[in-house]
């Protein structure tokens, strides 16, 4: 058990625990109906049409990250987070990894709000694709041979999963693309522990500005502001 749960990566462990708690609560409180659209919505899933008419629901840009639709969805995303979360938390450090995970998820859910508002969507894959996007950036920018090799593998995973989304209508391609975009941008202003000066201060400020402009712009357009 000690080998399975690495206490040096508290953020990954905490995210896994929160994801599991939400999923178990859904199974208990909505037994037999845990995968219905109403249950997904009630537990915090993204439903853009509601957010458009009620901006106080913008908290749904974060909550869907921890909501999953069925056992297969939950187990697949949890295993992916378990494997890649430990790697990424070691690369970025706990605090920056936590921010990367959330910022990627927010951007993914913003893309869902903007592009597919009628869909009821949920899942950690918005954030997980952000991890893929982050490693793609490091593949081409890092001078660390280990990160370059790891990034090459992430590119293959990113392309494969995006391709799967093209042929499966149940997969939110908008959320995956948005998560990857968010993760890629956030990587510039959230430096890795081994290469804290990989990007200049100007590049970091520009990346942060681009991220904020995307968030503000997509929210404003989606809400008709």
Measured CA to CA, the distance from residue 195 to residue 144 in angstroms comes to 8
Given the residues 68, 73, 125, 222, select the one marked as catalytic: 125
Given the residues 9, 68, 73, 176, select the one marked as catalytic: 176
Q: How many degrees, rounded to 5, is the angle at CA 154 between CA 149 and CA 157?
A: 140
Is 176 one of the catalytic residues? yes
Query: Known catalytic residues?
Result: 125, 176
């Amino acid at each position: 058990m000690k080998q399975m749960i690495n206490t040096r990566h508290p953020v990954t462990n905490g995210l896994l625990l929160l994801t599991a708690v939400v999923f178990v609560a859904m199974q208990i409180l909505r037994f037999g109906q845990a995968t219905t659209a109403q249950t997904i919505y009630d537990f915090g899933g993204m439903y853009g049409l509601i957010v458009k008419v009620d901006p106080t629901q913008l908290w749904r840009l974060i909550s869907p990250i921890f909501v999953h639709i069925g056992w297969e969805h939950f187990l697949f995303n949890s295993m992916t987070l378990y494997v890649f979360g430990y790697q990424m938390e070691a690369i970025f450090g706990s605090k920056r990894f936590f921010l990367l995970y959330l910022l990627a998820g927010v951007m993914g859910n913003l893309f869902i709000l903007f592009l597919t508002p009628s869909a009821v969507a949920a899942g950690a894959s918005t954030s997980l694709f952000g991890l893929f996007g982050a490693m793609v950036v490091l593949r081409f920018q890092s001078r660390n041979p280990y990160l370059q090799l790891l990034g090459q593998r992430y590119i293959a995973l990113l392309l494969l999963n995006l391709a799967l989304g093209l042929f499966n209508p149940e997969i939110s391609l908008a959320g995956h693309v948005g998560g990857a975009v968010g993760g890629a941008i956030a990587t510039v202003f959230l430096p890795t522990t081994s290469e804290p000066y990989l990007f200049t201060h100007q590049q970091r400020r520009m990346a942060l500005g681009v991220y904020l402009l995307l968030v503000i712009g997509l929210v404003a357009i989606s809400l008709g502001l």
